[in-house]
Amino acid sequence: MWTSHEGFLELFKNVWDEEATGCVLVRLVIGLKKLKQALKEWNVATFSQVERELTNMEDQIINFEHEVADQFSQDAESKLLEAKAKHQVWLNREEVLWKQ
């Protein structure tokens, strides 16, 4: 699930590019420890709120559907389609969590 998130590669690159001193193996161990800590923090911040995000997206979809039904506009329809796409992303993340 991490690798499919848009911020994963940037986080990985930023942590891995940090300077470390010592021989190659020491630098490798230091880099892996830093990466482990950064991934733990990032995981909690990014993926711990899946249920909350799904609920928020469902509420947004309902609101946009009402807006489109009450007074159709291209803007409202594009917002609805965007909300549905984001909702699908969060559904996919939830599915991956359940499979783990």
Integer Cα distance of 93 and 52 in angstroms: 12
pLDDT value at residue 88: 92
For 65-88, write each residue's pLDDT tens digit: 998 888 888 888 999 999 999 999
Q: Using alpha carbons only, give the angle 45, 48, 50 rounded to the nearest 5 degrees.
A: 120
pLDDT value at residue 1: 64
Integer Cα distance of 90 and 55 in angstroms: 10
Give the side-chain half-sphere CA count within 13 A for 85: 6
For 3-56, write each residue's pLDDT tens digit: 677 788 888 899 988 888 889 999 899 999 999 999 888 888 877 788 888 999
On whether the CB atoms of residues 4 and 47 are closer than 8 A, the answer is no
| Residue 96 CB contacts under 8 Å (≥ 6 apart), including other chains | 1, 4
pLDDT value at residue 49: 80
Q: Work out the pLDDT band at 60, boundaries 50, 70, 90.
A: very high
